[in-house]
Structure formats: C-alpha cells, structure tokens
C-alpha cells in the first residue's frame, strides 16, 4: 500500500494523502467516532470490488457478473448475524444516516410521531432533531438528561404515554453512560411503539460483550461500522427476533427501503471491508481491545477530574467522555478545540446538557479512546494525555467570545493566529509527539 500509482499519476493529491498520514501518526486522534481500521480493511476498500455494480441482493441482482460479489455480501451478512446474534442483517447502507432514514421510511409515514434523545443532550441528528430531515418529516418528541447527566427515563415514559410515538430511538452520539435498552423496551411495549437501538458508537463494545447488547430488547438495531467496530465507513441494519415477532415482514420492509427505496448500487468494496472488520471483531484479542478502550476512558476521566476538569455525568462507562467547560464560562469549546488541534490532539467541540451558548460555539469538548487504544496506549498514557489536555484548557480558558458576530469572527481569527505561536501549546505538542513516537501507526505503510 505504498500508493505508487497515486504518486505517479497525481503527485499533488499524493502529497495531501501523505500529509494526512503524517498528521494521524504524529497526533492523538481522540474524536470518539474515529478509529484506525486494519491494513486488511484498507486494502479491501481499495480493491477491484470498487468496479462492480450490484443493485439488488445476493442471488437477486439486476446486473450480471455478480457471482463473487454475492459471496462477498453473503459473507458479511453471515458474520454480522453471528457476531450480533440476530436473524437478519442488511450490510448495504452507505452510512449511518441513510440507515436510520431507511428505518423511518420502513415503519412510519410523514407526520407520524417519533421519539429520540435531544441533540444537545447527546443524541444524534437523525433521532429527530429539528434541522435533520427526520425532524422535518416526522413529529419529533425529544427526551433529555437528568441533572446527573443520565437519561431521564421517567420523562421518556411520560412523553411516550402522552404522544404515543410510532418509533422510539435509544442511542446517542455524545453520551458517556451505558444505554438503557431494557427500560426503553418497557416504554415501547407499553405504548405499542417500535424500538430501534442506534449502537453506532458502542457497536464494538457490544460485539465484545463490554457493553450490554440491545438485541433481546429492541426490534431493530442500526450501527455504523467505523467507530468502535474498527471497520470501514459503512453501516448495518439488523432485525431481531423480537422485531420479527412484532412484524414478520419487518426484514423485507427494511431491505426494500434500502434498495430500491433509498439507494442504488451498493459499495461492495466497503462491504468487503465490513466483512473483514466483523471477522476481526469475533476474535479473542478484540475483546481485550474493547475492554482496554473502557479502561482507558475511565483512566482518562479520573485524571481529568483530579486536575479539576468537570465532566458531564462525572465520568464514563464507555469509550467517550464529555468535558464541561462552563466553570470557565460559556462557549469555551471552540477555543479548546483549536488549541488542542494545534497541539496535535484531535477532539471536537460539543454541546453539553442545558447548553448556555450557541451550538456552533458550545461549552463542551467530546473526546474518546478508541483510536489511541488501537495504537496500543494504556492507562499510563491516559494520565499523561489528561495532563496535556488540562494544560491546554488552562492556557486558553480566559478567552471570551464577543457577543457581536463581526467582532466574534475577528476575535477567533486572531486567536487562531496567536495560538500557533503559544509557548504552552508548543510544549503540549512536544509531549504529544513523544507519546506518539512510542506507538507507531501503520508502520508497514511507507509513502
């Protein structure tokens, strides 16, 4: 995978790819929805499988020449069903958002009532947020977190009783606690709703038995494949026994909504990468990996707390944590993200529950441990990383966003320029480089 052909045919693009590899190698990738798949996965995604159209499903294609493609997709399906212990799996969704949209369109009509966790409380856009098509096409009722940072089950129960939703989502994109599948199953049963679990963030933890599985409690499971599952950028929709019992035609409805309802030709090079990732996730060493993700996340959280950094829900039970920067004022997330980025620590600014600022200038930072755990880092490194993050936070905590929009843009522009020559951030950067030098990324890949 030296990309010799890219180097020869497009030197300009080759330099961009080379630069991105250097950035990944010399930095700490801590956005919890990102990971480093194996070279086997990357090879499959760059294979000749890219060349084939295969609308339809195995043995039911609209194009000829799919005998090997059928084998690839059938293998991925079999592995998904085995790993997650479900009777039906569709591995064709291009990504998580169209997978979730397919669930809506298979089960609901425009205007039907649906429920999901509020985006500002850690939910996902596709769980009914107002700016998403899912919040525009359907009547969305959102539940929230309690003051302790955990999902307010009683509020969700009350809202379900009052609104009788057709579909309820349990899942999140910025929630550091275990997802309460059993409790939501009781709510869904009471009001006759379909229950879908979006486990995109914790799929690898579920596969390894480190996080509770939703399969016995919900009707449908959706997941992306590139987060803790450590595969390519794709998605899977699964129907459970419980789902089949509620609606014997549920799997057919899902399949028809993916194709021809929403998508055309599936990306079979991605399907092959998914098949490899599913095989890797079935191995004993993947269980150890998933356990280490959580141990690392907890060690990172504890050291941040010792350093005086506030966390939403005061800790974590999974792969991510959410820093609450409001003790230093509102809207500080943008400054911390820029400072950490300059220091080689990649995180994302994020809203927190009861966000006091604007969504684009939020008061939180979301970070996690899947990618750095893939590189082999453990608890001692988490302590050092927490200390580096704390130094960066303390260096920029005094910055204040102007209320006036023009003044705000000018202020941020100056901040981005000044942070590049900040001595403390440079020292943090040196600390990051020292850690990364001991945990090489893709050493076999030479560009």
CATH code, 82 = 3.40.640.10
> Would you say residue 155 lies in a domain?
yes
Residue by residue, DSSP assigns 211-259 as: S--STTT-SEEEEESSSTT---S-EEEEE-HHHHHH-TTHHHHHHHIII
pLDDT of residue 405: 87
Report whether 373 contacts 367 (CB < 8 A): no
Coil, strand or helix at 268: helix
Convert the pLDDT of each residue in 284-341 to its tens digit: 999 999 999 999 999 999 999 999 999 999 999 999 999 999 999 999 999 999 999 9
Residue 359 has pLDDT above 90, yes or no: no
The answer to the question of residue 12 being in a domain is no
* Model confidence band, residue 2 (pLDDT cutoffs 50, 70, 90): confident
315 part of a folded domain: yes
Are 177 and 92 in the same domain?
yes
* 68 catalytic residue (yes or no): no
What is the arithmetic mean of pLDDT over 59-71?
A: 97
pLDDT band of residue 447 (cuts 50, 70, 90) is confident
In this structure, the answer to whether residues 314 and 247 fall within a common structural domain is no
Is 316 annotated in the active site? no
Q: For residue 191, tell me if it sits in a domain.
A: yes
328 and 244 co-located in one domain:
no
Choose, from 34, 55, 341, 400, the residue flagged as catalytic.
55
Closest to 167 (Cα-Cα) out of 102, 238, 115, 216? 115
198 assigned to active site: yes
Q: Which of 29, 121, 198, 355 is catalytic?
A: 198
State mean pLDDT over 75-97: 98
Residues 204 and 307 in one domain: no
The single residue of 120, 134, 224, 316 carrying the catalytic annotation is: 224
Domain CATH code at residue 366: 3.90.1150.10
Domain boundary residue among 215, 248, 281? 281
Structure-block tokens of residue 332: 């500080």
Chain segment 384-415, per-residue pLDDT in tens: 999 999 999 999 999 999 989 889 999 999 99
Domain's final residue, options 281, 303, 328: 281
Q: Look up the domain containing 361 and give its range.
A: 284-437
pLDDT of 186 over the 80 cut: yes
| Residues 289 and 396 grouped into a single domain | yes
The residue from 281, 301, 318 where one domain ends is: 281
Tens-place pLDDT, residues 431-444: 999 999 999 999 99
Residues 390 and 410 in one domain: yes
Confidence band of 161 (pLDDT split at 50, 70, 90): very high
Mean predicted confidence (pLDDT) in 70-93: 98
Q: Are residues 290 and 277 in the same domain?
A: no
Structural domain includes residue 40: no
Give this prediction's pTM.
0.97
- Work out how many domains the chain is built from and give that number: 2
Residue in 26, 52, 53, 241 annotated catalytic: 53
55 is catalytic: yes
Measured CA to CA in angstroms, residue 439 lies from 27, 317, 340 at distances of 11, 25, 19
Are both 288 and 433 inside the same structural domain? yes
Check residue 146 and give its pLDDT.
96
> What are the backbone dihedrals phi and psi of residue 324, each rounded to the nearest 5 degrees, phi first?
-100, 110
- Domain assignment of residue 224, yes or no: yes
Q: What is the distance between the alpha carbons of residues 447 and 427, in angstroms, rounded to a whole number?
A: 28
Indicate if 257 and 291 belong to the same structural domain: no
Mean pLDDT computed over every residue of the chain: 97
Selected catalytic residue, list 227, 242, 332, 349: 227
Q: Are residues 406 and 271 in the same domain?
A: no
DSSP code of 262? Answer: I
Phi-psi region of 162 (alpha: psi -120 to 50; beta: other; left: phi over 0): alpha
Give residue-wise pLDDT tens across range 205-237: 999 999 999 999 999 999 999 999 999 999 999
Q: What is the pLDDT of residue 1?
A: 63
Q: Are residues 201 and 59 in the same domain?
A: yes
Residue 16, domain member (yes or no) = no
The verdict on residue 2 lying in a domain is: no
| Residue 224 designated active-site | yes
- The owner of tokens 């060690």 is 299
Does residue 220 sit in the same domain as residue 313? no
Rounded to whole angstroms, the Cα distance separating 277 from 102 reads: 23
157 classed as catalytic: no
Active-site position among 18, 233, 330, 378: 233
């Amino acid at each position: 995978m030296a990309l010799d052909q890219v180097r020869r045919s497009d030197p300009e693009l080759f330099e961009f790819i080379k630069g991105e590899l250097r950035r990944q190698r010399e930095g700490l990738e801590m956005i919890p929805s990102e990971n480093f798949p194996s070279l086997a996965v990357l090879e499959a995604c760059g294979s000749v499988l890219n060349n084939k159209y295969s609308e339809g499903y195995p043995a039911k294609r609209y194009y000829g020449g799919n005998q090997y493609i059928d084998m690839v997709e059938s293998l991925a399906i079999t592995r998904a069903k085995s790993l997650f212990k479900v009777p039906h799996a569709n591995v064709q969704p291009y990504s998580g958002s169209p997978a979730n949209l397919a669930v809506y369109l298979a089960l609901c009509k425009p205007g039907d009532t649906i429920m999901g966790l509020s985006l500002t409380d850690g939910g996902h856009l596709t769980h009914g947020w107002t700016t998403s098509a899912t919040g525009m096409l359907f009547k969305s009722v959102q539940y929230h977190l309690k003051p302790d940072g955990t999902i307010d089950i009683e509020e969700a129960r009350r809202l379900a009783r009052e609104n009788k939703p057709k579909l309820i989502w349990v899942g999140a994109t910025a929630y550091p606690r275990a997802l309460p599948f059993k409790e939501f199953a009781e709510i869904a049963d009471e009001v006759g709703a379909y229950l879908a679990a979006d486990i995109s963030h914790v799929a690898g933890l579920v596969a390894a038995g480190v996080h509770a599985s939703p399969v016995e409690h919900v009707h449908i499971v959706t997941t992306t494949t590139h987060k803790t599952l450590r595969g390519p950028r794709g998605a899977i929709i699964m129907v459970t026994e419980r789902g089949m019992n509620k609606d014997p035609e549920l799997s057919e409805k899902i399949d028809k909504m993916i194709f021809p309802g929403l998508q055309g030709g599936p990306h079979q090079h991605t399907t092959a990468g998914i098949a490899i990732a599913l095989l890797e996730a079935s191995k004993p060493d993947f269980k150890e990996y998933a356990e280490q993700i959580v141990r690392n996340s907890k060690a990172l959280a504890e050291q941040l707390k010792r350093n005086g950094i506030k966390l939403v829900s005061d800790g974590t039970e999974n792969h991510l944590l959410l820093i609450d920067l409001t003790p230093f004022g509102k809207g500080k997330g943008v400054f911390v993200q820029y400072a950490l980025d300059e220091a080689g620590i990649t995180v994302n600014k994020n809203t927190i529950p009861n966000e006091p600022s604007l969504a684009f200038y939020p008061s939180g930072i979301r970070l996690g441990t899947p990618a750095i755990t893939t590189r082999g880092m453990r608890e001692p490194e988490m302590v050092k990383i927490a200390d580096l993050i704390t130094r960066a936070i303390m260096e920029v905590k005094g910055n204040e966003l102007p209320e006036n929009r023009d003044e705000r843009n000018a202020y941020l522009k100056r901040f981005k320029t000044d942070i590049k020559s900040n001595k403390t951030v440079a020292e943090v950067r040196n600390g990051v480089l020292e850690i990364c030098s001991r945990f090489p990324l893709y050493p076999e890949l030479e560009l």
